[in-house]
Amino acid sequence: MFLALNDLVSLFSAKQGIQDNMLFHTVADQANTDQPKGLFIPINDSGELLDAIANGAIAAIWDRETKLPSYTPTYFPVFFADDLAEAIRDIIKIYSEKLDGETNKHMQITNFKFSNKKLLNKNKQTYDIAVILEKLTNMLPTDTERRG
Task: Give me the DSSP letters along 109-127.
Answer: -PEEE---GGGS-TTS---
Rounded Cα–Cα distance for residues 144 and 55 (Å): 35
Residue 141 lies in a domain: no
Q: Is residue 146 part of a domain?
A: no
- Report yes or no on 56 lying in a domain: yes
Evaluate the CA torsion angle 83, 88, 92, 95 in order and state its sign: positive
Q: Is 135 a member of any domain?
A: no
Domain annotation covers residue 137:
no
With respect to residue 16, please indicate whether it lies within any of the assigned structural domains.
Answer: yes
Instruction: Give the CATH number for residue 79.
Output: 3.40.1390.10
Residue 23: how many CB atoms within 10 A of its CB?
15
Domain count within the chain: 1
Contact 26, 2 (CB under 8 A): no
Q: Mind listing the pLDDT tens digit of every residue in the chain (148 residues)?
A: 899 999 999 899 999 998 888 999 999 999 999 999 999 999 888 899 999 999 999 999 999 999 999 999 999 999 999 999 999 999 999 998 888 766 666 778 888 888 865 555 444 444 566 666 666 666 555 555 555 5
- What sign has the CA pseudo-torsion 127, 129, 134, 135? positive
Question: Does some domain include residue 103?
Answer: yes
Structural domain boundaries, residue 46: 1-113
Helix (H, G, I), strand (E, B) or coil at 26: strand
Answer whether residue 35 is part of any domain. Answer: yes
